[in-house]
């Protein structure tokens, strides 16, 4: 993988190449869903111990949030690839939807105002 920043489309191609050469094949979608949930749980573990009220057990090493988020992204890309989804297009459409739907919603939410 190059050290230059990857576009989402480029990341999808890199993951596909990795799967084809090292991963043998994609896991089925339900297995990938289970993997995604597992990886999100690992993100939750790191955050609950670094930002939340939980502490690490004796001898337990802190997790690497960046690595765990990358694992989530990897599995998400696998699911997109095997479903024929272009994540760049999907994200662009999703941001457009959110912009139209939430143009004032968060700004007008008193819960989000500075104290």
Report residue 25: phi and psi, to 5°.
-160, 165
Structural domains counted in the chain? 1
Q: What is the pTM of this model?
A: 0.86
Torsion of CA 5, 49, 36, 19, to 10 degrees: 50
Confidence of residue 26 (pLDDT cuts 50, 70, 90): very high
DSSP 14-44: HHHHHIIIII-SPPPHHHHHHHHHHHHHHHH
Please check whether residue 100 lies inside any domain of the structure. Answer: no
- Report in angstroms the alpha-carbon separations of 61 from 31, 52, 64, 94: 27, 16, 9, 37
pLDDT at 92 over 60: yes
Q: What is the pLDDT of residue 23?
A: 92
User: The CATH number of the domain where 53 resides is what?
Assistant: 1.10.287.1080
Q: What is the pLDDT of residue 10?
A: 97
Q: What is the pLDDT of residue 1?
A: 52
Please check whether residue 25 lies inside any domain of the structure. Answer: yes
Please check whether residue 28 lies inside any domain of the structure. Answer: yes
Range of the domain at 46: 8-84
DSSP 61-77: PPP-HHHHHHHHHHHHH
Please check whether residue 99 lies inside any domain of the structure. Answer: no
Confidence of residue 3 (pLDDT cuts 50, 70, 90): low
């Amino acid at each position: 993988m190059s050290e230059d920043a990857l576009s989402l489309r480029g990341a999808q191609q890199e993951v596909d190449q990795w799967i084809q050469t090292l991963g043998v094949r994609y896991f089925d979608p339900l297995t990938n869903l289970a993997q995604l949930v597992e990886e999100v749980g690992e993100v939750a573990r790191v955050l609950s111990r670094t930002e939340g009220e939980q502490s690490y057990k004796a001898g337990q090493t802190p997790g690497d949030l960046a690595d765990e988020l990358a694992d989530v992204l990897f599995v998400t890309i696998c699911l997109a690839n095997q479903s024929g989804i272009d994540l760049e297009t999907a994200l662009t459409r999703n941001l457009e939807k959110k912009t139209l739907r939430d143009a004032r919603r968060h700004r007008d939410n008193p819960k989000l105002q500075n104290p």
